[in-house]
Structure 1
Amino acid sequence: MAENTEVVVIGGGYAGVMAANRLTQRDDVTVTLINPRRTFVERIRLHQLVGGSDDAVVDYAKILADRVRLTVDTVTRIDAAGRRLTLASGGTVDYDYLIYAVGSGSADPRVPGAAEHAYPLADLEEAERLRPVVAAAPASAAVSVVGAGPAGIETAAELAEAGRTVTLVCGGVLGPYLHPRGRRAVARRLAELGVTVLDGPDTQVTEVTREAVRLADGRELPSEVTIWTAGFGVPDLAAQSGLSTDALGRLRTDETLTSVDDPRIVAAGDSAAPSDLPFRLGCQSAVQLGPQATETVLSRIAGANPTPIDVGFAGQCLSLGRRSGVFQFARRNDVAISLYLGGRLGGKVKEFVCRSTVWQLAYEARKPGLRTWWVKDSKRGQLLRAKHGEVPDTADRAA
């Protein structure tokens, strides 16, 4: 009888769950998922947790294949040479192949006072800490949301719809990803909700105090609750373990998501930097990269050459309270176009996306490997040639 191959997935987010579920299509593969929490976090609903309309968690039993062994712990070191992981609990886990899907979180704000007086909002624990703070604040309390990406826009809208006095401090352009038409639609809805939007280069935050936010142009905004959504970072596990990472800390890989240091380590999701040309952080790329990371591992187990990744985008969807939203369409290479859906229809599309993303995870658990629906970005090859002079060599390396 053939010996089982031990594959360990670090991280139980969108990419990690997709990867772990797909691994179960082979009976001779033993799958372990290591995650610090017992429940799956819907990061795209964290603003709803803060606003009180959702708990943003799903039981792993609903989305994880029965054959996946869930270990609730945190990996503190990867010993690539020994193929062994050290856990925070003091234990160790050996592996034959490793899928690195640790995701992303809040970045160090590097702004005086932000770490002490602002509330980050990138993971479940941060959202759970912020929720009672918002609930306890008087209805008239000034709330500042720093950062004008999806998390900032959605949080500002959610709280304003609940009757809060909210200022959205952009530090630049409102919704940098959006096409100008989509941006105007978002701005109109925020104005309807009573959100004060401060954008432009002079709105960079220079200091946060207990009661105020100071801007580059000298303005001081009263702020009894300051929420920080500006920027994301990734855990430093790979770098601390001696693996090659990019400037943000993402694991450097080739176009098959294989680590440039070790053919037994494959990355997926926000923590992957394929060919030093990573994709936009978020669940849209994660649910595609997770199963494709698994296909690389399964190819190596079978002694075949893994296939280069294919990731395409449809756009960006934003909820603007519970009754409205914007779906910004984009080309497959992740460039926004003038077409968008707004209003109630945009809100319904956003809710459909949230629900369907969890459905995708559960579907992969039930029927691993059946769906290969990811769209292709024909422009990536051109970008790679422009960046590196030629398409990176994705030939298999001896394991």
Structure 2
Amino acid sequence: MMNANVEVVVVGGGYGGVMAANRLARRDGVSVTLVNRRPDFVERIRLHQLVTGSDDAVEGFGEVLGGNVRLVVDAATRIDAAARRVSLAGGGTVSYDYLIYAVGSGAADPGVPGAAKFAHSVSDLEGAKRLRSALAAAPATAPVTVVGAGPTGIETAAELAELGRKVTLVCGNVLGPYLHPRGRRPVARRLAELGVTVLEGPRARVTEVTRDAVQLDDGRVLPSAVTIWTAGFRVPDLAARSGLRTDTEGRLLTDATLTSVDDVRIVAAGDAAAMTDRPFRMSCQAAVQLGAGAAATILRRIAGRTPAPVRLMFAGQCISLGRNGGVTQFSYLNDRANPLRISGRLGAKVKEFACRFPLNQLASGARKASSRASHGDSAARLETPQPKPRTTPSDTRRGA
């Protein structure tokens, strides 16, 4: 039997954090508080669509978070593991019996002269909105440079080119490094159809960014009215600032059950977790599994049982290439790409399904958690954002 009134605090309201909160909130005797610095859930995998106006990439927490989860809109500044307390930027604190560390990730410091000052990011909501404004202010014929040939760079370049922008994609080495060579071909073909100039090779690396240009390692200078940096991610330094052990990238070090190597009361989920002997790719696909795994670990501990190692299984990677094209690169369960892929309009449909699926998972989890609340649970939200109609800045339909 579970002990009554176990308080769980989830820090971070992304895919992993919301998945974990909903799973925990379904159980009697568990009260859940979600701390998130924004009042809405951000569909991070759609931020490139926000830039071009085909989606707003935001969903109300009322749609994806259980009605019995207490929502605190604030930023966590420190975790006091000894006192089991989280300090907030607004001056308050939240106490916990167990904590889920799900702070996510953001854009990495490029480490290239001028990049931090002149390049834009599409890794978070605020950065994507600033980029949208910068593009709106630039002439339609102005050259745009996207740096980074991972999924975010490819999707952003294709989305902008489909609108008629003159786009150069600087790969730094190879286009789509995760992709199987057979999956890379349709990506390159679609980018060419859209008019994207793709620069590959070991010397296709940016060495400096200025207000209106990008300089490459081979000496070339590319005119660039708007430069977008998509290479690399970093995690917040909350764990390190709180005295918890992290890996070299700042991710909280955990064992195979996602439990912090420093404290059995702290469990990690999402991009900010690093299992010491089982590395995984930062992704939405991993986050939803890690969120469920983190919740399972805590529920087992509350019940006095030994947590089970978390197993991650991957299906592949979906890449949108504008609204009318896409490539789905399938993988083995260990996330190694295999030769199978789907491309073209069908690839775009699979990508759209892949974007909708995790949101539907969260919404389903919210309904299940809320059904417990409707049967007498007394937990209440600090804030309860009202569900809003699904709209976009320039269209009332989702991009397909």
Residues in 1 aligned to 2:5 and 2:279: alpha-carbon distance in whole angstroms:
32
Q: Indicate whether 1:334 and 2:362 are aligned.
A: no
Offset of residue 100 of structure 1: 0.2
* Matched residue SS, 1:203: coil
Q: 1:276 to 1:87 in 2, by over 3 A?
A: farther
Q: Which runs of 5+ in 1 are unaligned?
A: 369-399
TM-score, normalisation: structure 1 = 0.91
Matches within 5 A, 1:349-368: 349-367=350-368
Paired residues of 2:259 and 2:267 also in contact (CA < 8 A): yes
Mean Cα displacement is larger for which, 270-279 or 164-173? 270-279
Question: Where does structure 1 differ by over 4 angstroms across 4 or more consecutive aligned residues?
Answer: none
Structure 1 counterpart of 2:63: 62
Structure 1 counterpart of 2:161: 160
Q: Indicate whether 1:132 and 2:133 are aligned.
A: yes
* Matched residue SS, 1:40: strand
Mean Cα displacement is larger for which, 38-47 or 131-140? 131-140
Structure 1 counterpart of 2:239: 238
Q: Indicate whether 1:53 and 2:57 are aligned.
A: no
Paired residues of 2:259 and 2:266 also in contact (CA < 8 A): yes
* Matched residue SS, 1:176: coil
Offset of residue 2 of structure 1: 5.1
Structure 1 counterpart of 2:175: 174
Paired residues of 1:170 and 1:200 also in contact (CA < 8 A): yes
* Matched residue SS, 1:151: helix
**Counterpart code for 1:129:** R
Offset of residue 355 of structure 1: 1.0
**Counterpart code for 2:153:** G
Structure 2 counterpart of 1:247: 248
Paired residues of 1:272 and 1:278 also in contact (CA < 8 A): no
Residues in 1 aligned to 2:69 and 2:221: alpha-carbon distance in whole angstroms:
52
Residues in 2 aligned to 1:3 and 1:12: alpha-carbon distance in whole angstroms:
25
Structure 2 counterpart of 1:384: none
Offset of residue 282 of structure 1: 0.8
Paired residues of 1:267 and 1:293 also in contact (CA < 8 A): yes
* Matched residue SS, 2:327: strand
Structure 2 counterpart of 1:219: 220
Offset of residue 24 of structure 1: 1.3
**Counterpart code for 2:146:** V
Paired residues of 2:51 and 2:128 also in contact (CA < 8 A): yes
Matches within 5 A, 1:72-151: 72-151=73-152
After superposition, the C-alpha distances for 1:83-111 in whole angstroms (9 at most, x for unaligned) are: 01100001111100000000010111100
Paired residues of 1:121 and 1:229 also in contact (CA < 8 A): yes
Residues in 1 aligned to 2:122 and 2:57: alpha-carbon distance in whole angstroms:
13
Structure 2 counterpart of 1:282: 283
Offset of residue 276 of structure 1: 4.5
Residues in 1 aligned to 2:92 and 2:130: alpha-carbon distance in whole angstroms:
29
Paired residues of 1:252 and 1:276 also in contact (CA < 8 A): no
Residues in 2 aligned to 1:254 and 1:355: alpha-carbon distance in whole angstroms:
31
Paired residues of 1:245 and 1:252 also in contact (CA < 8 A): yes
Paired residues of 1:47 and 1:158 also in contact (CA < 8 A): yes
Structure 2 counterpart of 1:377: none
* Matched residue SS, 2:203: helix
* Matched residue SS, 2:176: coil
Residues in 2 aligned to 1:194 and 1:2: alpha-carbon distance in whole angstroms:
61
Residues in 1 aligned to 2:279 and 2:97: alpha-carbon distance in whole angstroms:
26
After superposition, the C-alpha distances for 1:246-300 in whole angstroms (9 at most, x for unaligned) are: 0000000000000000000000010000124331001000010001100000111
Structure 2 counterpart of 1:389: none
After superposition, the C-alpha distances for 1:320-361 in whole angstroms (9 at most, x for unaligned) are: 000000000000000001110000000000001111110011
User: Percent identity over the alignment?
Assistant: 70
Structure 1 counterpart of 2:296: 295
Matches within 5 A, 1:22-41: 22-41=23-42
Paired residues of 2:66 and 2:368 also in contact (CA < 8 A): no
Q: 1:2 to 1:255 in 2, by over 3 A?
A: closer
Residues in 1 aligned to 2:131 and 2:221: alpha-carbon distance in whole angstroms:
23
Paired residues of 2:3 and 2:302 also in contact (CA < 8 A): no
Offset of residue 211 of structure 1: 0.8
Paired residues of 1:181 and 1:338 also in contact (CA < 8 A): yes
Paired residues of 1:251 and 1:272 also in contact (CA < 8 A): yes
Residues in 2 aligned to 1:339 and 1:6: alpha-carbon distance in whole angstroms:
45
Residues in 2 aligned to 1:278 and 1:70: alpha-carbon distance in whole angstroms:
31
* Matched residue SS, 1:256: coil
Q: 1:2 to 1:19 in 2, by over 3 A?
A: closer
Residues in 1 aligned to 2:214 and 2:253: alpha-carbon distance in whole angstroms:
37
Structure 2 counterpart of 1:183: 184
**Counterpart code for 2:124:** D
Offset of residue 316 of structure 1: 0.3
After superposition, the C-alpha distances for 1:15-37 in whole angstroms (9 at most, x for unaligned) are: 00000000012110110000000
TM-score, normalisation: structure 2 = 0.91
Paired residues of 1:318 and 1:325 also in contact (CA < 8 A): yes
**Counterpart code for 1:172:** N
Structure 1 counterpart of 2:207: 206
Identify the structure with bigger relative contact order (alpha carbons < 8 Å, sequence gap 6+).
2
Residues in 1 aligned to 2:251 and 2:354: alpha-carbon distance in whole angstroms:
26
Residues in 2 aligned to 1:173 and 1:254: alpha-carbon distance in whole angstroms:
33
